[in-house]
């Protein structure tokens, strides 16, 4: 895995999380502690595959 950038759902600031700053819960989910407000947040990893390119365009 690599550095993840997510916005915190509590304080809405960006979290830049290096690999040693978050822990995998399962194959798709990681848990991290927000460096700004200290909240424990979970987010989904987007990895290689169907969802890696983001939302489908068109229609
Ligand atoms: Zn936060």
Measured in whole angstroms, the distance separating CA 22 from the mean position of its chain's CA atoms is 9
**Distance from the CA of 48 to the center of ligand 1, in angstroms?**
27
The answer to whether position 17 is within a domain reads: yes
The domain of 32 spans 4-44
The answer to whether position 14 is within a domain reads: yes
**Distance from the CA of 6 to the center of ligand 1, in angstroms?**
10
> How many structural domains is the chain composed of?
1
Tokens of 9: 């759902």
Are 32 and 20 a contacting pair, CB within 8 Å? no
pLDDT, tens digit (0-9, with 9 covering 90-100), for 1-42: 688 899 999 999 999 999 999 999 999 999 999 999 999 999
Tokens of 58: 């068109």
DSSP summary character for residue 8 = -
- Would you call 57 helix, strand, or coil by DSSP? coil
| pTM exceeding 0.75 | no
**Distance from the CA of 55 to the center of ligand 1, in angstroms?**
25
**Distance from the CA of 57 to the center of ligand 1, in angstroms?**
31
**Distance from the CA of 43 to the center of ligand 1, in angstroms?**
13
The answer to whether position 49 is within a domain reads: no
The answer to whether position 50 is within a domain reads: no
Helices (H) and strands (E) in the chain, counts: 0, 5
The answer to whether position 57 is within a domain reads: no
The answer to whether position 53 is within a domain reads: no
């Amino acid at each position: 895995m690599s550095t993840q950038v997510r916005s915190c759902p509590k304080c809405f600031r960006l979290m830049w999380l290096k690999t040693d700053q978050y822990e995998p819960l399962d194959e798709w989910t990681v848990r991290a502690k927000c460096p700004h407000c200290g909240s424990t947040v979970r987010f989904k990893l987007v990895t290689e595959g169907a969802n890696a390119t983001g939302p489908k365009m068109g229609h």
